[in-house]
Chain A
Amino acid sequence: MYRYDKYDQSIVDARVEEFRDQARRRLAGQLTDDQFKPLRLKNGLYLQLHAYMLRVAIPYGTLDGRQMRMLGHIARKYDRGYGHFTTRQNVQYNWIKLEQAADILADLATVEMHAIQTSGESIRNLSSDQYAGAAADEVCDPRPWAELIRQATTFHPEFSYLPRKFKIAVTAADEDRAAIRLHDIGLKLVKNAAGELGFEVYIGGGMGRTPFVAPLIRDFLPADDLFSYIEAALRVWNRNGRRDNIHKQRIKILVHDLGQEEFTRQVEAEWQHILQNGTNVPREEFDRIAAYFAPPPFETGLSDEIDRSDPDFAVWLDQNVKAHKAPGYAIVNISLKPVGGIPGDATAEQIELMADLAERYSFDELRVTHAQNIVLPHVRKADLHTLWQTLDAAGLATANLDLISDIIACPGLDYCSLANARSIPVAQKIATRFADLGRQRELGELKLKISGCINACGHHHAGHIGILGVDKKGTENYQLLLGGSGAEDASLGKITGPGFNEDGIVDAVERVTDKYLELRDEGERFLDTYRRVGFDPFKEAIYG
């Protein structure tokens, strides 16, 4: 994985000192909170209901054991012993003191980490496929491009005060594990007929209160032109995006208002202009970055045999372990969704254990997934049973990947100052209702996603089953959505009808899953059945 050189380190170190000075001026009263807010937000520091929350960047979700251990250290020293992994493959701490924020950034900088542009109206941390470099189905590892774009968009002076936040995702496989079409820019690496690498460029997707699945703006962008094309799209939006209504300022609204054709025309024209400025990062620099992502030294001649005689291990193996491109290796998913737990939370001890396990079993690499789980990407099949035993002893072997209890949930009204309703208790009640693993496995792949407000941080639009918490005359109310997907078959869920209270929504989910079991054909996932039979049978099952 990528390592900083003196330039990267100098920039991150300077940022720590810049933020330390800004925090000092705020604490001394030289900056108003209104003036300080965009400065702290450019560094991932939010003021939440009870305390400051710090979001730390994990670029494209990749980190090593040393970095993971630092995340555990921060949880213990500056927080209440927990880290919360997020849908942008980042980590958040919910109990931060402003006086200590710069010290945390200084600690992070010692392991080549930062909180730059993890919030605010900026180009956010890039997300990517959590199986990058390990997946059997990828064209090539997308992360060198992600790192190139990370650097090129860090402190980009022209795009310092964009109309709104801006999120980019990069993948290289047909199976979309990064929800690229629900991003401001989604990039998919492809090869053209001549065998050259390039990108399919999707622009204008997003969730929030006005969700869109991004249209394809360019079907083949030569890979070397990636940055200039992103700059062109950003400039068109920065100049022409709305600035009068915070809810209508994302690039998706501009794409929608101009229409795909006119937006594309403007971006292409701007791109022709920008190409003359020489802002593309040259191939030799790409090659320098790509060298850091060379495959680890996989052993050859390993057996693919796995002893399945332990039944609990076999269940975990079938559910949480995925195919690797190297013979004798596997991809291990560590679920952060134990029944009754908080989705995405891990204790400092669990974080440190995962760091140790990455060093011991996975070439010192971990990934964070947008579904709020952790991946050990390169594990020898021969080590799987021992690894599973260690995970199990630490409460990290829940065998529920992509099942109904593998819930994405935002922090909700328990923490977030924007939320209208709590998300965490609903996730806990649903996971408890469906706690029986045999029942979950019978239901099969079922992605359930919960947001505590219309901003959709919990991706409810993209859930096979989505839940949206709203405020209804002062009480928490939950709307149910069906049929969304963040994968390669991206679609937006449809609201079923009147909402429910906290217990009512759990019952409604169960009526939906019962109906699915009744209607499904052989081999169909819930989403497949829903798409085949349509909305009405489910609506009738829910409301009678």
Chain B
Amino acid sequence: MGDPLRFRDDDPAEEPAVTLDAFLDRANSSAVRLEAGEDARALLPHLDHITLIEIDFPRFRDGRGYSSAQILREAGYKGELRATGDVLVDQIDHMRRCGFDGFAPYAPIDPAVLEASLNRYQYRYQTAADGAVPVWKLRHG
């Protein structure tokens, strides 16, 4: 039985994520953790050898991590992007759209509520990191 909060087929990273400062000092780690205020673009030169980036949400209202995720996916990052911290079930759909594919919340997530939430919206108005085709494209074939 796989982790219901992990949306990838590969095996999870084995080494623990290090801080951004530690990562930039050594640059030989393959797992790194970004705090809410840290600049995701600092990782861009290293993306090809990173397999896990954790992005922390200190409070669910702090939305900086959504932009961090989007920036990393736009730059071509293919490894796991894991949201940690104060992550609530009603946020996971938008986090998935921004490219998160792993979740490690403080509090447990009700799987039935999550499933309903992830299947609720059939159409999306914008392009994002999830590859969904926006309605403006569907409308014009």
Contacts and interface: CB of A to CB of B under 8 A. Distances in A.
B138 interface: yes
A350 B97 CA distance: 44
Contact of B120 (A14, A152, A279, A288): A14
A544 interface: no
B117 interface: yes
Given A121-B61, A285-B140, A158 B125 contact: no
A159 B128 CA distance: 11
Given A158-B67, A243-B62, A288 B139 contact: yes
A21 B90 CA distance: 11
A161 B123 contact: no
Contacts of B91: 160-161
- Residues of A contacting B: mostly: helix
A22 B95 CA distance: 18
A130 to B, nearest CB: 25
Interface string B59-78: 01111101110100010000
Interface string A269-296: 0000100111101101100100000000
B98 interface: yes
Contacts of A18: 117, 120
A162 B126 contact: no
Contacts of B110: 30
Contacts of A35: 60, 88
Contact of A7 (B70, B113, B127, B135): B135
B62 A157 contact: no
What is the interface residue range for chain A against chain B?
Answer: 35 or more
B64 A239 contact: yes
Contact of B61 (A11, A38, A151, A157): A38
Given A39-B90, A160-B66, A285-B139, A155 B125 contact: yes
User: Interface centre among B64, B68, B128, B138, by most A CB within 10 Å?
Assistant: B64
Contacts of A155: 94, 121, 124-125
Interface in A231-251: 235, 238-239, 243
A17 interface: yes
B85 to A, nearest CB: 13
A532 interface: no
Contacts of B66: 157-161, 238
Contact of A10 (B68, B122, B139): B122
B94 A157 contact: yes
A48 interface: no
A157 B128 contact: yes
A277 B62 contact: no
Interface string A134-158: 0000000000000000011011111
Contacts of A281: 136
Contacts of B128: 157-158
A5 B36 CA distance: 39
User: Interface centre among A151, A161, A273, by most B CB within 10 Å?
Assistant: A161
A25 interface: yes
Interface of A: 5, 7-8, 10-11, 14, 17-18, 21-22, 25, 30, 35, 38-39, 121, 151-152, 154-163, 235, 238-239, 243, 273, 276-279, 281-282, 284-285, 288
28 contacts: A10-B123, A11-B123, A11-B125, A14-B122, A18-B117, A22-B90, A38-B60, A121-B63, A151-B136, A155-B124, A156-B125, A157-B70, A157-B93, A157-B128, A158-B66, A158-B128, A159-B63, A161-B61, A161-B62, A161-B91, A162-B63, A238-B66, A277-B127, A278-B127, A279-B127, A281-B136, A285-B136, A288-B139
